[in-house]
């Protein structure tokens, strides 16, 4: 008897208001792109309960044998409010721990910068330094980086029905979803290929 082992690749883009997530099979076929809305809850632990419930729902729905979670690494740049930074770092750690418990596999952190740089090689500037080293820098120029990523994902995944604002731009949560997409994309190519 042949046993098929299914693999689910999950990308998570973490914030305290919206968590974007993407679900892929091991052939990088997208099977789900959505978000967890946390805007109506103020307590971090209650937000975590919402996240845990959603992640358990994913596990129950797909019942895969092996889960590989790639999670947005927390940014260490300090915004004007150190309390906001502390809260974001704490919540990222909490979601990472819950992901580990639910999927029984240690999540791999991926910086959004590295994911964007890998996903958008057309925007990488290569500089050859005098000492012989090569420096690669991602530059969106005057482009809105989140919208650029969304537009590129939209081109790769034409089957998705995006919800648009009256302005013609996508709803804000789609940017979190597409950031989760590129985090999983980066994880797939760096850990499976």
At 16-67, the pLDDT tens digits run 999 999 999 888 899 999 999 999 999 999 999 999 999 999 999 987 678 9
- Is 31 in a helix, a strand, or coil? strand
Contact 184, 9 (CB under 8 A): yes
- Is 173 in a helix, a strand, or coil? helix
Contact 51, 97 (CB under 8 A): no
Of the candidate CATH numbers 3.40.50.20, 3.30.420.10, 3.20.20.370, 3.50.50.60, the domain formed by 7-112+144-191 belongs to: 3.30.420.10
Instruction: Look at residue 76 in the predicted model and tell me its pLDDT.
Output: 66
At 56-107, the pLDDT tens digits run 999 999 876 789 999 999 876 656 678 888 888 899 999 999 999 999 999 9
Q: Does the pTM of the predicted model rise above 0.85? A: yes
With a cut of 60, say whether residue 3 has pLDDT above it. Answer: no
């Amino acid at each position: 008897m042949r046993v098929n082992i299914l693999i689910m690749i999950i990308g998570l883009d973490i914030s305290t208001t919206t968590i974007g997530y993407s679900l892929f099979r091991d052939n990088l076929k997208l099977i789900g792109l959505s978000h967890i809305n946390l805007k109506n809850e103020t307590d971090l632990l209650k937000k975590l309960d919402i996240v845990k419930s959603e992640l358990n729902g994913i596990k129950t729905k797909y019942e895969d044998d092996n889960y590989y979670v790639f999670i947005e690494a927390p940014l260490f740049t300090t915004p004007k409010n150190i309390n906001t930074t502390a809260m974001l770092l704490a919540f990222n750690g909490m979601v990472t721990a819950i992901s580990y418990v639910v999927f029984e596999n240690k999540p791999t952190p991926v910086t959004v910068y590295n994911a964007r740089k890998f996903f958008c090689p057309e925007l990488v500037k290569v500089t050859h330094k005098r000492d012989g080293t090569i420096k690669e820098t991602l530059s969106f120029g005057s482009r809105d980086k989140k919208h650029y990523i969304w537009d590129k994902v939209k081109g790769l995944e034409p089957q998705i029905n995006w919800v648009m604002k009256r302005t013609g731009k996508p709803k804000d949560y789609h940017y979190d979803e597409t950031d989760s997409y590129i985090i999983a994309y980066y994880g797939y190519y760096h850990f499976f290929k």
